Amino acid sequence: MKQITILMNRPLLLCLFFVLLGKWSFSQEEINLYEGAIPDALSAENIETQNPRQSGGAWITKVSQPTLTSYLVQGSEKPSPAILICPGGGYGGLAIEKEGHDIALAFQKNGISAFVLKYRMPSERTMIDKSKGPLQDAQQAMAVIRSNADRWQVDPGKVGVIGFSAGGHLASSLATRFHKPVLEGNTSNVRPDFVILMYPVISFKDSIGHIGSRNNLIGKNPPAEMITAFSSEENVTTDTPPAFLVHAGNDKIVKVENTIAFYQALLQHQVKAQMHIYPEGGHGFGLNNRTTQDKWFDHCLLWLKDCGIK
């Protein structure tokens, strides 16, 4: 008798399933970051390349046409929080899938609309001042997300940023240099409401900095004052947004001291922060540090709840 009941109700169950699927359906769209001219851009051929990485996913280089790809949560009764994603790659390329689209899907599935930023790689061939381009793109992305808040059903007061490796340097720059925008126009509110930094490049100082990222962004022989200006730990103030930090102690590419220095600066200025240092994991583990069963993303979601974001 029970079997007959189940068979009779199967169409109803299927109908309910598709209704729920429609309620929580996701959309994805890639748009040009700028509607008009790209700021400070030089006229140059677009020679962007994309190749597979040995560690998985796509590797994009020579980006000169920045874009923003949205992963929107639909069907929610209220606007969702949003996060801007800055993949890493030493300011020489972008791990666009492992540290971009994969991350976006994870946030999207947890009720947070995500936006993957394909930002310009510093280049004297395509930019008047290569040190400004990536931050211009990050500030523009924040402005675009907030100006389209109604259209995309996101809460403009709950827009944060996450960055990986050199993308972490970009994200930390966005979080600490918003008071002096490098982008003209709609820059009234480019400050992120929270920042998540994954094995980030923070400092450009000789002692702990990632020299490859520094060379690519500000050149091989920058003056001392420029090194300080681009070291995010030196730019923390009481207005810096709350931060969630993750690093591995055995990271041989970007020293863990980068994260520790930023955390100490946050504490000094009484900015809310949470730091997770794993003993192992190396560099570039993305969502999954395979050396541990502990999941940083789970801690991150709880932290966002504690901050009143989620």
CB 265 within 8 A of CB 207: no
Residue at 170 is within a domain: yes
pLDDT band at 55 (very low <50, low <70, confident <90, very high): confident
Look at residue 23 and tell me whether its pLDDT is greater than 60: no
Domain count, the chain: 1
Instruction: Check: CB of residue 136 under 8 Å from CB of residue 121.
Output: no
For residue 41, being part of any structural domain is answered with: no
Q: Which of 14-18, 38-42, 196-200 has the lowest average pLDDT? A: 14-18
Token pair in block for residue 273: 């922060």
**267 occurs within a structural domain:** yes
Q: What is the pLDDT of residues 148-203, one digit of tens each?
A: 999 999 999 999 999 999 999 999 999 999 998 998 876 678 999 999 999 999 99
Q: Is the residue at 1 inside a domain?
A: no
Q: Pick 52 or 299 by higher pLDDT.
A: 299
Question: How much of the chain, in percent, has pLDDT values that exceed 70?
Answer: 91
> In the 8-state DSSP scheme, what is residue 97?
I
pLDDT score recorded for residue 186: 66
What CATH number is attached to the domain comprising 300?
A: 3.40.50.1820
| Residue 158: C-alpha distances to residues 84, 85, 114, 183 (Å) | 11, 14, 12, 22
Domain span at residue 246 reads 23-36+47-306
219 lies in a domain?
yes
Helix (H, G, I), strand (E, B) or coil at 119: coil
Rounded Cα distance between 87 and 96, Å, is: 6
- Which of 275, 279, 281, 280 has the alpha carbon at shortest distance from 299? 275
- Residue 42 belongs to some domain of the structure: no
Residue 7: the pLDDT is 36
Give the mean model confidence (pLDDT) for residues 200-228: 97
- Judge whether residue 26 has pLDDT over 90: no
Measured CA to CA in angstroms, residue 75 lies from 80, 153, 276 at distances of 10, 9, 33
16, pLDDT greater than 90: no
Q: Is residue 159 part of a domain?
A: yes
CA gyration radius, the chain: 20
Q: With respect to residue 290, please indicate whether it lies within any of the assigned structural domains.
A: yes
User: What does the pLDDT look like over 221-257, one tens digit per residue?
Assistant: 999 999 999 999 999 999 999 999 999 999 999 999 9
